[in-house]
Amino acid sequence: MAIISNNVLAKNLDANLLNDVWKFHNHKKLMMEVFRQVGRAGLHSVVDAGCGEGLLFPVLSEQLPEDRLFLGFDIRRSSLWRQIAAHFFVASAHAIPIKDKVFDLVLCKDVLHHTKNPRDILKELIRISSKYVVVMEANRRNLLMIFYTKTGEHEHFTREQLYFLTAKSKVTEKHNLYFGSVNAYPFYLPMPKKVRLQTLLHLFPNFVMVFSFRYLRLHKFAEVVTRLFSFFMREPSFNIVYIFKAK
């Protein structure tokens, strides 16, 4: 398995990858918070478990400037994989076809809440990691996310549920855990099917931020609106579990 050139990743992002600056901005904000906790030194290999379209890799290539080994897998193949210069394959997180302690950093974003046995997946993530496992899950109590996280298809976790799932488990008892959060909003999600007045009132800051960011290009203003609304909301959009593997 060859080392991937980050220059190729960046080139493919500009040429093919949806041209969605807002999406890239929010993924970048999420990963910057992750690297603030685990650092960048010594991360020679990264795997994204349940990678979806693989859109974390262009962000990783920017945050990790030197050549690194990037690998992603998902239960379904994405047509975008061929546009990103990283290694992808189809697999289930319940039985990951990777040897023990292979990857320095194992990422898992918005996957556990889709499964019936999330602790089995957590066990697999820890098994293939040599240093860090980072689990990112959208916060069910976030007021902007509530219309996407409380439907029948997306029963996301509250912070308390995610804590009980990870910290109160024999799978993690030998390792150090740290709980963090970040306000990186996935504003590219479609509007809810049932739009009520309450929904519009909650989503109004979204429209302000998206319009100012995308069309007026007032990136700093959009960031200020994000921070102000998050301060009053007191519920971050993402809860993050950092697992530092015991040596």
pLDDT above 80 for 129: yes
Q: What is the 3-state secondary structure (H, E, C) of the chain?
A: CCCECHHHHHHHHHHHCCCCHHHHHHHHHHHHHHHHHHCCCCCCEEEEECCCCCCHHHHHHHHCCCCEEEEEEECCCCCCHHHCCCEEEECCCCCCCCCCCCEEEEEEECCHHHCCCHHHHHHHHHHHEEEEEEEEEECCCCCCCHHHHECCCCECCCHHHHHHHHHCCCCCCCCEEEEEEECCCCCCCCCCCCCCHHHHHHHHHHHHHHHHHHCCCCHHHHHHHHHHHHHHHCCCCEEEEEEECCC
Report the percentage of the chain scoring pLDDT > 70: 75
| pLDDT on residue 5 | 34
pLDDT band for position 11 (cuts 50, 70, 90): very low
Tens digits of per-residue pLDDT, 165-186? 999 999 999 999 999 998 876 5
Domains of the chain, CATH where assigned: 6-188+236-244 (3.40.50.150)
